[in-house]
């Protein structure tokens, strides 16, 4: 999510240099995927816990991975028709630009300059992340406002450092930074008591907590001091493909709101009386065809991966070892930010 500033500048420079549309034609990407018979999805190099990792059998697992599978099910009718391309952050944007992958489903924060300069589009936001704090439970700290004078572990050369400095200056507090160069080092520093607090994105902190010897000894503070919206990234050359990616995400969210689950989607498709459910699942209307998809695209998709809530729970939430709270990633009806436009 947050990476060394130099790498971002490098990637941006590369992309700016290469800002040539790779495939001309308005439906280039969709046609290429259909012809190829699989979606090529750029993910992390297996090191993004809960988002994209390899399991014991060597299969990809994670939130981003499930999003790619959902997209493949929506577009091609088969969630297995997806190829995962592991990309280091420094080659990720350039690989998308060059056409080596169809989309990036990795933790790339949506920012103004990236959107404006890279000739890329974020097709929605699937995780609202942000920088938070982890402390030992025995310190009895309940708010980041109580951290005046604390020693704080963080990763050097990243925007984490800048956000932290801003937050402490704004609140008139002081701190001593202990700079590590990787998550593992920061975890060890915290566990060994070299610092009182570790600051990183909430998703990363939740993973770090799982990696601790005794995860129950550590708590995440409620304050979130930065915005880190991440979502699927596509090229700007195929607006139709962007729509399909966006509506894949929106439909997963709408499905959670309407109670459509992996287990009951077939049943709801045949028996539900809710007009919106009927439109989504293709029982009435020709909504799939409007995007060039099959009539039952949403049925196949939800059958393959479940709705947003199920995907989150399985990979990041209470159903996973990470146990990340939903936080901002709750539905708008529950006080979160997830909101799908109406399906009509």
Partner 1 sequence: MSTRISTAGQPFQAAPQHAWFRRLMAWARGNLFPTPFDAALNLVIVALFAWLVASMLPWALLDATWSGGSRADCTGTGACWAFVLSRLDQFIYGFYPAAERWRVNLAGTVLILGLAALLIRAVPGKRVTGLLMLLVYPPFAFWLLKGGFLGLTGVQTDRWGGLMLTLVVGVSGIVLSFPIGVALALGRRSDLPVFHGLSVLFIELWRGLPMVTVLFMAIVMLPYFLPAGMKLDSLGLAIAGIVMFQSACLAEIVKGGLQAVPKGQYEAAKALGFGYWRTSVYIVLPQAIRIVIPGLVNNSIALLKDTTLVMVVGLFDLLNIVAAGSSDPRWLGSATEGYIFVGLVFWTLCFAMSRYSHRLEHSLRSRRQRLGGVS
Binding residues (CB under 8 A) for partner 1: these are 14, 18, 20, 22-23, 32, 45-50, 53-58, 61, 85-88, 90-91, 94-95, 98-100, 184, 207, 210-213, 315, 320-322
Integer Cα distance of 154 and 179 in angstroms: 5
Rg (CA), the chain: 21
Helix residue spans in 174-217 (DSSP H):
183-191, 202-211
Report in angstroms how near the CB of residue 1 gets to partner 1 at its nearest.
14
Quote the CA–CA distance of 243 and 111 in Å, as a whole number.
20
Q: Enter the tokens of residue 133.
A: 């704090």
Q: Which is nearer to partner 1, 98 or 283 (CB)?
A: 98
Shortest spacing between CB 269 and partner 1, in angstroms: 32
Q: Are strands 127-129 and 82-86 parallel, antiparallel or unpaired?
A: unpaired
Give me the least distance between CB of 98 and partner 1, in Å please.
4
Q: Which is nearer to partner 1, 90 or 330 (CB)?
A: 90
Q: How far is the CB of 42 from partner 1 (least distance, A)?
A: 9
Q: Is the CB of 118 or the CB of 258 nearer to partner 1?
A: 118
Which CB atom, from 69 or from 209, has the smaller least distance to partner 1? 209
Min CB(93)–partner 1 separation in Å: 10
The residues, ordered by sequence, that sit 6+ positions from 195 with a Cβ below 8 Å of its Cβ are 150, 151, 152, 153, 178, 189
Residue nearer to partner 1 on the CB measure, 28 or 288: 28
Is 17 buried (19+), middle (13-18) or exposed (0-12) by CB count in 10 A? exposed
**Bridge-partner residues for 41, per DSSP?**
84, 103
């Amino acid at each position: 999510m947050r990476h060394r500033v130099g790498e971002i500048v490098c990637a941006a420079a590369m992309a700016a240099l290469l800002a040539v549309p790779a495939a001309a034609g308005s439906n280039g990407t969709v046609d290429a995927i259909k012809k190829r018979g699989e979606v090529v999805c750029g993910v992390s190099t297996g090191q993004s816990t809960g988002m994209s990792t390899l399991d014991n059998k060597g299969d990809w697992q994670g939130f981003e991975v499930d999003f790619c599978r959902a997209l493949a099910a929506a577009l091609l009718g088969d969630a297995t028709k997806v190829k995962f391309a592991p990309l280091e952050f420094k080659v990720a944007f350039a690989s998308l630009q060059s056409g080596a992958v169809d989309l990036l489903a990795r933790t790339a924060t949506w920012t103004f300059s990236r959107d404006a300069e890279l000739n890329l589009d974020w097709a929605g936001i699937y995780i609202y992340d942000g920088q938070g704090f982890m402390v030992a439970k025995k310190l009895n700290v309940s708010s980041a406002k109580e951290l005046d004078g604390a020693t704080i572990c963080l990763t050097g050369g990243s925007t984490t450092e800048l956000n932290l400095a801003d937050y402490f200056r704004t609140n008139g507090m002081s701190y001593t930074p202990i700079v590590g160069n990787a998550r593992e080092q920061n975890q060890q520093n915290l566990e060994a008591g070299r610092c009182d607090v570790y600051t990183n994105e909430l998703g990363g902190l939740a993973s770090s907590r799982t990696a601790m010897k005794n995860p129950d000894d550590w708590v995440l503070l409620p304050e979130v001091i930065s915005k880190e919206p991440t979502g699927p990234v596509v090229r700007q050359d195929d607006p139709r493909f962007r729509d399909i990616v966006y509506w894949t995400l929106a439909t997963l969210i709408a499905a959670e709101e309407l109670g459509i689950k992996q287990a009951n989607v077939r049943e709801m498709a045949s028996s539900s009386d809710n007009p919106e459910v009927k439109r989504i699942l293709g029982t009435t209307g020709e909504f799939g065809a409007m995007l060039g998809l099959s009539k039952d695209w949403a049925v196949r998709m939800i059958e393959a991966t479940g709705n947003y809530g199920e995907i989150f729970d399985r990979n990041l939430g209470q159903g996973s070892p990470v146990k990340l709270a939903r936080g901002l990633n709750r539905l708008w009806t529950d006080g979160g930010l997830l909101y799908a436009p109406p399906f009509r």
